[in-house]
């Protein structure tokens, strides 16, 4: 048992490349790393240190992996355009982490010191902007459609973040508000990753649309999983403090469901509505974890699994479709299905 009294399971990082098991993909991801570093190289030693801080820390590279898989289907090695499209979406993701950590006053990211903690908030914000500028420059080199798509995605990310900030510390937050938020802040970039890959890969329009739909469903599912793990996983598994969303007033679906549960809501509600110190954070996590909210959130995730698998079945390359379906199913593996 964990110190919270919650049954401990193991929640490893999502190893997308291994789960997709597509030929060429591992090699393409290895080729991606120097491309990422080159894309953020400015010639200024200090700025380069800041912009490569989280690149050096590693990460799942989930979004570029989706882009490369969509582009190649595992049938061939990635072209230069495929790699650049993957770089563009990863830079947007990295920039969002720089900015998020400033807003959250985070100290740790990917099990290393966060950029804002190491270099200060101002440097972290400007460096995040620099990453977005580089991403936009790359997108422009890939054509007007991809440039417009990435610009629109940035707008959706901002809208999702504003929706989340506006509802901070609100115990009356609606499920609809939560779903709108994660559609913008997470699913939009997942969807765009798949779409950019499909475009650089020159796929037919129906195929582009199917992969875009898969990316949206996968992104919704991924965020639901992430929000479950924020409650039941450990700091080490997350690479950041567990319960951070709770402490900062970001009440996700498991928390909202636990608040509405007559058996846990009355005990949980008085703890929420303001920032939490560690003892109150642990108590709130325990209440949510021991309620039926985790199981109900997993059930909500299964609906997105079904939609993702249905989209994946329509992918023209059968092996890619099967792999994408398996990837979607894997996100809920090991999560509680009963109280």
Per-residue DSSP letters for 170-185?
Answer: -TT--HHHHHHHHIII
Q: Which residues pair with 108 in a beta bridge?
A: 113
Domain boundaries, given as residue ranges, for the chain: 16-330
pLDDT higher than threshold 90 for residue 238: no
Pick the CATH number of 16-330 from 3.40.50.2000, 3.40.50.2300, 3.40.50.300, 1.10.600.10: 1.10.600.10
The confidence band for 6, taking pLDDT boundaries of 50, 70 and 90, is very low
User: 18 pLDDT band (50/70/90 cuts)?
Assistant: low
Supply the pLDDT for residue 17.
60
- Contact between 195 and 215 under an 8 Å Cβ cutoff? The reply is yes
Q: Which of 316, 311, 150, 291 shows the shortest CA–CA distance to 231?
A: 291
Give, in order, the Cα–Cα distances in Å from 31 to each of 68, 97, 183. Answer: 11, 23, 30
**Cα gap 40→323, rounded to integer Å:** 31
Angstrom distance (rounded) from CA 136 to CA 142: 10
Percent of residues, the chain, with pLDDT higher than 90: 73
Average pLDDT over residues 81-110: 89
Pick the residue with more confidence: 239 or 282?
282
Give the model's pLDDT for residue 338.
Answer: 72
How distant, in Å, are the alpha carbons of 22, 63, 69, 142, 152 from that of 145? Answer: 27, 19, 20, 8, 11
pTM of the model: 0.92
> Tokens 């977005």 belong to which residue?
132
Binned at pLDDT 50, 70 and 90, residue 217 comes out as very high
Residue 237 pLDDT level (bands cut at 50, 70, 90): confident
pLDDT-wise least confident of 5-19, 67-81, 244-258, 285-299: 5-19
Nearest C-alpha neighbor of 256 from the set 334, 170, 161:
170
Model confidence at 7, in pLDDT bands (50, 70, 90)?
Answer: very low
pLDDT band, very low/low/confident/very high, at 162 (cuts 50, 70, 90): very high
Question: Are 161 and 185 in contact, with CB atoms under 8 Å apart?
Answer: yes
């Amino acid at each position: 048992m964990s110190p919270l009294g919650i049954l401990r399971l193991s929640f490893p990082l999502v190893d997308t490349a291994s789960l997709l098991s597509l030929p060429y993909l591992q090699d393409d991801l290895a080729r991606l790393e120097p491309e990422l570093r080159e894309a953020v190289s400015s010639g200024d030693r200090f700025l380069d240190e800041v912009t490569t801080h989280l690149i050096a820390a590693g990460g799942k590279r989930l979004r570029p992996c989706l882009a490369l898989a969509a582009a190649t289907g595992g049938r061939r090695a990635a072209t230069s355009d495929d790699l650049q499209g993957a770089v563009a979406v990863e830079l947007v993701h990295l920039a969002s982490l720089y900015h998020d950590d400033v807003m959250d006053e985070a100290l740790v990211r990917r099990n290393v010191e966060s950029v804002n903690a190491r270099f200060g908030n101002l440097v972290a914000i400007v460096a995040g902007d620099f990453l977005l500028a580089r991403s936009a420059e790359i997108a422009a080199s890939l054509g007007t459609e991809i440039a417009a798509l990435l610009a629109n995605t940035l707008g959706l990310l901002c809208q999702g973040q504003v929706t989340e900030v506006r509802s901070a510390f609100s115990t009356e937050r609606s499920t609809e508000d939560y779903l709108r938020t994660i559609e913008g802040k997470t699913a939009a970039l997942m969807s765009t990753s798949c779409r950019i890959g499909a475009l650089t890969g020159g796929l037919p329009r129906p195929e582009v649309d199917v992969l875009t739909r898969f990316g949206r469903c996968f992104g919704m599912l991924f965020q639901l999983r992430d929000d479950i793990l924020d409650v039941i996983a450990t700091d080490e598994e997350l690479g950041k403090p567990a319960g951070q969303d709770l402490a900062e007033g970001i009440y996700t679906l498991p928390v909202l469901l636990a608040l509405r549960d007559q058996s846990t809501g009355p005990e949980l509600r008085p703890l929420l509505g303001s920032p939490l110190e560690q003892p109150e954070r642990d108590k709130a996590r325990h209440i949510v974890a021991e309620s039926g909210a985790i199981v109900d959130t997993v059930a909500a995730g299964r609906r997105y699994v079904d939609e993702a698998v249905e989209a994946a079945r329509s992918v023209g390359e059968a092996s890619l479709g099967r792999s994408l379906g398996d990837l979607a199913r894997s996100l809920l593996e090991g999560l509680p299905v009963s109280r």
